[in-house]
Amino acid sequence: MNNKTDLIEYLLRLGDSALIQGQRLCQWCGKAPALEEELALMNVGLDLVGQARNWLEYAAELLGDDRDADHLAFRRDERAYRNLLLVEQPNGDYAVTILKQFLYDAWHLEVLKGLSQSSDERIAGIAAKAVKEVTYHLRRSGEWVERLGDGTEESHKRMLAAIPEVWRFTVELIAADDSEQRLCEAGITPDIATVAAAWQATVNKIFASATLPVPAAPSYFYLNARKGLHTEHLGILLAEMQFLPRAYPDATW
C-alpha cells in the first residue's frame, strides 16, 4: 500500500466512527432521561456528524471516483465501513450509553490532539477545530461516569454491569495495524502507543473517582472493524440510517 491508500482508510475510520456514534446518540431523541440531557446528547451527536462530514469529504476527494461525503455515508454496504466496533454497539440503558461515550471520547480527544500536529495540513486543520468540541464531550461524559459510578447504589450497580458490556471492544483503541503505523512514520498520524497510554491514564483517573474497577487491557477480539468485520448491530443501524437515501436516491431538499 502507499500513503494515499493508507490515508483514505484512516479517514474512513475517523469519519465512520464519528458518524455511527453520532447516529447512536441521535437514537435517544425523545427518549432521554431528562430534557437537558436530550439537548446535550443531540448537540454531541451533531458535533460528531459534522466532524464525520469533514473526514469523509477529504476521503472522497482522495478517492476521486465521483463519490461525495453523502455517498460514503449512506450508500456503502456494511463491510465497507471502518468504524470502531465500540460505537456500533446498542445504546443499552443510560449507563451503557455514557460509558461508551466516555471511552470513545477519551480516545478521540487524544487522537485529535495528535492529528492537530499532522504533517498533512488538511488533517491538522480539521483536528484542531474538532479538539474544542471533543474537549467538552469528554468533560461531560467523564462527569457522568463519576456521577453514576459514585452515586446511588442503583447507579453504581448499572455502571458495573455496563463495563463488561463494552470494555472488550476497546481493544481497537490501543492497537495499531500496519497501515496506521506507516502513516505514523510519515508524520501524518499520532503514535498509537502514546494515544493508548494517555487514554488509559484518563480512564484510570475517572474510574478511580467513580469508584469503578479498571479491567485488564483487552488483547484480542474475533472481529476486526478495520477489515470490515463488524458485529450484527451495525447492519441493523445502517438499515435504518440509510433507508431514505437508498429508497429515494435522487431526492433533493
Q: Report whether 230 contacts 89 (CB < 8 A).
A: no
Residue 2 above 80 pLDDT? no
Q: Which residues of 165-188 are buried (b: 16+ CB within 10 A; e: fewer)?
A: bbbbbbbbbbbbeebbebbbeeeb
Report, as an integer, the average pLDDT of 177-190: 95
- Burial class of residue 155 (count of CB atoms within 10 Å of its CB; 0-12, 13-18, 19+): middle
Answer yes or no: is 252 within a domain: no
Inter-CA distances, 131 with 37, 86, 115, 173, 204, Å:
22, 20, 10, 18, 21
For residue 229, the 8-state DSSP code is B
Asked whether residue 176 is domain-assigned, the answer is yes
Predicted pLDDT at 34: 85
The one-letter code for the residue type at 12 is: L
What is the band of 1 on the pLDDT scale with cuts at 50, 70, 90? low
Interatomic CA distance for residues 200 and 227, integer angstroms: 25
- Average predicted confidence (pLDDT) for the chain: 95
Whether 120 is covered by a domain: the verdict is yes
**66 pLDDT above the threshold of 80:** yes
pLDDT over 90 at 176, yes or no? no
- Structure confidence at residue 26 (pLDDT): 92
The confidence score (pLDDT) of residue 75 equals 94
Cα distance between residue 54 and residue 44, in whole Å: 16
Instruction: For residue range 74-113, list pLDDT tens digits in order.
Output: 999 999 999 999 999 999 999 999 999 999 999 999 999 9
90 assigned to some structural domain: yes
- Region class of 215: left (phi > 0), else alpha (psi between -120 and 50), else beta: beta
Kindly report the CATH number assigned to the domain that includes residue 22.
1.20.1260.10
Report angle CA 115, 95, 134 to the nearest 5 degrees.
20
pLDDT score, position 197: 96
pLDDT of residue 48 exceeding 80, the answer is: yes
Sequence-ordered strand ranges (E) for 9-152:
none
- pLDDT at position 36 is 87
Query: What is the pLDDT, as a whole number, of residue 3?
Result: 85
Residue 54 belongs to a domain: yes
Element (H, E) at 48: helix 35-63
Question: What domain range is 30 assigned to?
Answer: 3-247
**For helices 3-26 and 94-115, angle between their N-to-C axes, nearest 10 degrees:** 150
Q: Residue 175's pLDDT is what?
A: 87
Where residue 33 falls among pLDDT bands split at 50, 70, 90?
confident
Other Cβ atoms within 10 Å of 196 Cβ, number:
18
**In Å, how far are 123, 177, 188, 207, 240 from 127, measured between CA atoms?**
6, 21, 12, 27, 29
**Mind listing the pLDDT tens digit for each residue in 113-170?**
999 999 999 999 999 999 999 999 999 999 999 999 999 999 999 999 999 999 999 9
What is the reported pLDDT for 241?
94
Note whether residue 148 is domain-resident.
yes
Cα three-residue angle 51-53-58, rounded to 5 degrees: 105
Is 102 part of any domain? Answer: yes
253 in a domain, yes or no? no
Q: How many domains is the chain built from?
A: 1
For residues 31-40, average pLDDT: 87
Q: What percent of the chain has pLDDT over 90?
A: 87
